[in-house]
Amino acid sequence: MTETSLRERKKVATRQALSRAAALLAVERGVEGVTIEAIADAAGVSPRTFHNYFPGKEEAIVAPFTDGAQAVIDALRARPAGEPIWDALREVVREALLPTDTRDETIALLRVVKQNPALVGKQLCGLGEMQRQIAEVVAARTGTHAGRDLYPHLLAGAAGVAMRTALDLWVDGRTGADLPELIDSAFAQLRAGLPGP
Amino acid sequence: MTETSLRERKKVATRQALSRAAALLAVERGVEGVTIEAIADAAGVSPRTFHNYFPGKEEAIVAPFTDGAQAVIDALRARPAGEPIWDALREVVREALLPTDTRDETIALLRVVKQNPALVGKQLCGLGEMQRQIAEVVAARTGTHAGRDLYPHLLAGAAGVAMRTALDLWVDGRTGADLPELIDSAFAQLRAGLPGP
DNA sequence: CTGAAATTTTGCCGGACATGCAAGTTCGGT
DNA sequence: ACCGAACTTGCATGTCCGGCAAAATTTCAG
């Protein structure tokens, strides 16, 4: 299966421990009230080691979303070649947002992120990188050119907007719908050209 | 007219001086090669004063885009009430991206921003805030609810994607089309539901 | 015009951040 | 068991960012 030397396992474990500690502390104390020293301490490593894994606490906090964006790209690359591109995008977004074992923590984290401009910036930056790579995949599948055509970037951007909008509205919780419904609705509306309410 | 005491004028002048100096230095030396001291020096104020206007050099560099986003919102609020919302959005984006007297500088600045993740994050953060406010305006005009409906956020997001995509492709310059054409094309494709290449 | 009030600028300071470097420690393969 | 590679850690340096209070500037009432 996957190559898993002890070193590799330790590395991912440390990375996850740092990320989880950062998220937990951010939810508890607020982002500004968290120091790198506290995160490192909670994860059982030295502050200096923290910087071997993340350049700053913001990156550690939003790491789950950065990783999730990468998962979306990988999943998209693994879709069957003939599948309509809109369907493929909807499916990978749906899979990425499937209920996890840490659902409540993720919601709490999303709320914290949303209220902090610095975190929003990092999150959107990761999303932008995801869209860039999605555009390349789309271009390859549709015979368009990522450097010359609007189409692949618009499609990737639309998928990103659908994902982000559905998530945001779901996290706010003022709508009774569950997440898959919101995702389907968002994709359907975009696919229809947002004709009106 | 507009209240314009000496104090107000000096404040905006200082802010613009700092922003312009930051952008100029960033283009000349690269973002990392710019210190707050250099920016403040170029603008004729003390480094401490810089922090009274911007929390960091990144914010100063992307200030033109932040301000531009605000201009889009104001322009949208000023559109006639009956106008189709898609038309209104396309028009305000077009107006925001009209050729200015500092066209070449803006292009150079956009290229610098694009290559620096920290700046991209700040820029996207400002764009996100613009979209949030656009969604409110859209909700008010279409009888939808920004807290419950996907529609206004999807529409605002689509407009943001159209603007950003058209700008990016235009700045890269690999397409012969000019900016208004790209904007029109982006909006037309989104409005048609991105049917395919 | 003059003096007081409000606002802005500035220097100083401290905590936190980020990163290079070198020494110490742990792991992997022979 | 051993050596080289990879990871951790402490140290040191430079920058960032914001609070605070004093000095300077602008506003406004008398």
Distance of CA B112 to the CA centre of its chain: 15
Is this structure's pTM higher than 0.75? yes
Would the CA dihedral through B181, B186, B191, B192 be positive or negative? positive
Chain A contact set for B169 (CB, 8 A):
148, 150, 153
> In terms of Cα–Cα distance, which of B156, B187, B192, B195 is closest to A86?
B195
Tokens at B155, concatenated: 């529409």
Nucleotide nearest B37, from its CA to each C1':
D15
Span A25-36, mean pLDDT? 96
Instruction: Give the rounded percent of residues in chain B with a pLDDT score beyond 70.
Output: 98
pLDDT at A3 over 90: no
Contact B150 A165 (CB under 8 A): yes
Question: Phi and psi for B149 in degrees, rounded to 5?
Answer: -105, 145
Question: A84-135, pLDDT tens digit by residue?
Answer: 999 999 999 999 999 888 999 999 999 999 999 999 999 999 999 999 999 9
Contacts of A146 (CB under 8 A, 6+ apart): A135, A136, A139, A152, A153
pLDDT at A30 over 60: yes
pLDDT at A171: 94
Span B20-49, mean pLDDT? 95
Question: B80-138, pLDDT tens digit by residue?
Answer: 999 999 999 999 999 999 988 889 999 999 999 999 999 999 999 999 999 999 999 99
Mean pLDDT score of chain A: 95
Mean pLDDT score of chain B: 94
Question: Is the CB of residue B165 less than 8 Å away from at least one CB of chain A?
Answer: yes
pLDDT at B56 over 70: yes
* One-letter amino acid of B108: A
CA distance A46 to chain B (A): 26
Would the CA dihedral through B180, B181, B186, B189 be positive or negative? positive
pLDDT at A99: 86
Confidence bin at B1 (pLDDT 50/70/90): very low
pLDDT at A165 over 50: yes
Strand C proximal to A78 Cβ, under 7 A:
no
Residue window 13-52, chain B: list those with CB within 8 Å of chain A: none
Question: Is the CB of residue A193 less than 8 Å away from at least one CB of chain B?
Answer: yes
Tokens at B78, concatenated: 């000023």
* One-letter amino acid of A173: G
Helices B85-96 & B117-142, crossing angle to 10 degrees? 150
In whole angstroms, C27 C1' to A11 CA is 12
Contact A185 B150 (CB under 8 A): yes
CA distance B1 to chain A (A): 34
Tokens at A64, concatenated: 């789950």
Question: Phi and psi for B174 in degrees, rounded to 5?
Answer: -85, -5
Contacts of A43 (CB under 8 A, 6+ apart): A14, A17, A18, A20, A21, A50
Question: Is the CB of residue A165 less than 8 Å away from at least one CB of chain B?
Answer: yes
> In terms of Cα–Cα distance, which of A97, A159, A103, A95 is closest to A130?
A159
Chain B contact set for A125 (CB, 8 A):
117, 120-121, 124
Contact A168 B153 (CB under 8 A): yes
**A142-174 residues labelled b (16+ CB within 10 A) or e (exposed):** eebebeebbbbbbbbbbbbbbbbbbbebbbeee
